[in-house]
Amino acid sequence: MPSFEGKHKRQKPEKKVAKKTPSSSDQPWPRIWMAWAMASVFAISIVFWYATKKNIPDHVVLMTGQDGGLYHELGNVLSTIWKTHTGQTMEVRSSSGTIANLSALQEKEANLAILQGGTVSLEGMSIIAPLYPELVHIIVRKTSGITTVRELEGRQVIIGAPHSGMQKSALEIMRYHGMGKEHFQAHESYFMTLETNAAIDAAIVTAGIMHPDLRSLLNTGEYELIPVDYAEAIAMQNPFFIKMNIPKALYGHGTVSTKTDCMTVATTCLLVARADAAPEMITPLLNCVFEKNLWITLPSMLNKEDVQNWNQVRLHPRAGQFFNPSDRIGHMANIMESLAAFKELAVALIAGLYLLWDRWKRVKEKDIERRMMIEKDKLDILLTQTLTIERSQIRSSHVPELRAMLDKVTRIKLKALEELTHEALRGDRIFLIFITQCANLINKIQAKITQLNIEEAGLDINEKHQSSVRRRPIKRSPKKQGKVQTPGDNEDKLQGGKA
């Protein structure tokens, strides 16, 4: 059998080359290009998603109405609540009214606006929430003697500022009573002009019952309200108007004289945004609108249950879900909207996961390669140790020394089996040769020990045999002539002479 030393020398290179871990430059080009491509897709998708995502604007602009009006007061309260809930700012801007507010939305100069329902087209807009009813108040001076709408013919009447919803409602009411602008002297101004211009007889004001200027005017006791004669007909023909009564003591603690409850019509104040408004802004906005502090400021505010029963308006999908959580269609629309919004992020996520997987795989391969190199180094050390034992056992002929070598080889073999666990190394030809040669070396040492023991045992037998031969007595033969004398004969003669 060839010696272990000879085999090892044929397999081991004369000069040890430094081990090198694989680098990215050693990898196949297709894999490198794929990694770069996925990294580019990931980066582009993240940038595109961030650039196109819809989120709560850092600065929200809300269009309201004239200073001192209910729209403006409502906007100020809502701005404070928004700041508390979101930590962001809401700028409240005054305007001449509904038409100006709608124009600001269309020109993207504002994010939100308060509008009077039924006075403008809401094409391209989304209603966030109906806020409160706005009643048509026909206010006349007590000294004017006016008791019906028809008696406003030829009189001076305030119909509201230009581009306001109040003016459009006033003209609609006059039209139902058979009068146009040519039948009375129209003043396109704010209704508080009544206090400064005594020549004006009346004002047609569409406002909420908590309007501060309206209450201030009626609390003076110089004015009274007259009914809208065709209130029921107006409500039936206009989807945004409903028939309502103004109770006697609603204003001025009964100082506003009306013989009975004053019949009128009412429209609805609406909070509106553009149709492309960020859905992420709608839910926190509605939470602010229906917060208790706003109800305290405006007791006539509609609650969520009231809005659920309203079918006159088309709500924003996110608002529809807010008011009707069980609406599965709205819920599915919201899900589809979210999926569409995050499709770029999904692509980026897939690309990112691929890059992470590829990186993890390469790190794992490098770790396996490193472990392989470490275990190969250990195998080289063990090979060197077995070579030393191989040389030593050739020169040794002492049994105790050979037994020590046998124990050492056994420990080396056990150490290799316990520590060199890499699957690739276990299947390597050098490892198999090492294990085989360890077994052969063990057998060789054991055979040598056995041989030495046998030889030692045989030597002892020969020595005992020779010792027994020397002590055995010599048999004497009869004397013959011519026999050569032996030393034993001389001794017998001497002993006989002595005797």
Listed by start position, the domains of the chain span 4-27+367-465, 59-341
* pLDDT in the model for residue 292: 63
* pLDDT in the model for residue 202: 96
* pLDDT in the model for residue 48: 60
Question: Looking at 64-68, 97-101, 488-492, which range is the least confident one?
Answer: 488-492
C-alpha neighbours within 13 Å on the C-beta side of residue 223: 26
Q: Please count the helices (runs of H) and the strands (runs of E) in the chain.
A: 17, 10
Question: What mean pLDDT comes out for the span 3-31?
Answer: 46
Average pLDDT, the chain: 78
Q: Residue 97: CB partners within 8 Å, gap ≥ 6? A: 65, 66, 116, 160, 161, 163, 164, 165, 166, 167
CA gap 68, 101 in Å, rounded: 17
- Residues 194/215, Cβ–Cβ less than 8 Å: no
* pLDDT in the model for residue 476: 54
- Residues 135/208, Cβ–Cβ less than 8 Å: yes
CA gap 446, 407 in Å, rounded: 11
pLDDT grade for 464, boundaries at 50, 70 and 90: low
* pLDDT in the model for residue 162: 87
* pLDDT in the model for residue 386: 86
- Residues 204/234, Cβ–Cβ less than 8 Å: no
pLDDT grade for 425, boundaries at 50, 70 and 90: confident
pLDDT grade for 298, boundaries at 50, 70 and 90: confident
| DSSP symbol at 67 | T
Answer whether residue 404 shows pLDDT above 70: yes
CA gap 280, 332 in Å, rounded: 16
What are the tens digits of pLDDT across the range 372-389? Answer: 888 888 888 888 888 888
What angle do helix axes 343-395 and 4-11 make, rounded to 10 degrees? 140
Answer whether residue 290 shows pLDDT above 90: no
Question: Looking at 79-83, 248-252, 289-293, which range is the least confident one?
Answer: 289-293
Answer whether residue 281 shows pLDDT above 50: yes
Answer whether residue 11 shows pLDDT above 60: no
pLDDT grade for 109, boundaries at 50, 70 and 90: very high
C-alpha neighbours within 13 Å on the C-beta side of residue 69: 29
Place of tokens 């034992």: 389
Question: What mean pLDDT comes out for the span 141-155?
Answer: 93
Q: Residue 2: CB partners within 8 Å, gap ≥ 6? A: none
What are the tens digits of pLDDT across the range 314-369? Answer: 777 778 777 776 654 555 555 666 666 566 667 777 777 777 888 888 888 888 78
What are the tens digits of pLDDT across the range 442-458? Answer: 888 888 888 888 887 77
Question: What mean pLDDT comes out for the span 385-403?
Answer: 85
CA pseudo-torsion sign 169, 175, 181, 187: negative
Amino acid letter, residue 47: V
* pLDDT in the model for residue 499: 37
DSSP result, 136-199: EEEEEEGGG---SGGGGTTSEEE---TT-HHHHHHHHHHHHTT--GGGSEEE-S-GGGGGT-TT
pLDDT grade for 393, boundaries at 50, 70 and 90: confident
Please give the model's pTM, rounded to 2 decimal places.
Answer: 0.56
Answer whether residue 135 shows pLDDT above 80: yes
| CATH number belonging to the domain at 59-341, selected among 3.40.190.10, 3.40.50.460, 3.40.605.10, 1.20.1250.20 | 3.40.190.10
CA gap 426, 423 in Å, rounded: 5
* pLDDT in the model for residue 462: 63
**CA angle (253 as vertex; 248, 257 as ends), nearest 5:** 45
CA gap 228, 138 in Å, rounded: 8
CA gap 302, 436 in Å, rounded: 91
Question: What mean pLDDT comes out for the span 171-194?
Answer: 92
* pLDDT in the model for residue 170: 93
pLDDT grade for 483, boundaries at 50, 70 and 90: very low
* pLDDT in the model for residue 493: 46
pLDDT grade for 311, boundaries at 50, 70 and 90: low
Q: Determine what percent of the chain is predicted with pLDDT higher than 70.
A: 73
Place of tokens 């990215």: 24
**CA angle (167 as vertex; 172, 193 as ends), nearest 5:** 135
Answer whether residue 161 shows pLDDT above 60: yes
Answer whether residue 301 shows pLDDT above 60: yes
pLDDT grade for 195, boundaries at 50, 70 and 90: very high
* pLDDT in the model for residue 228: 93
β-sheet bridge partners, residue 186: 157
Q: Determine what percent of the chain is predicted with pLDDT higher than 90.
A: 22
CA gap 481, 428 in Å, rounded: 87
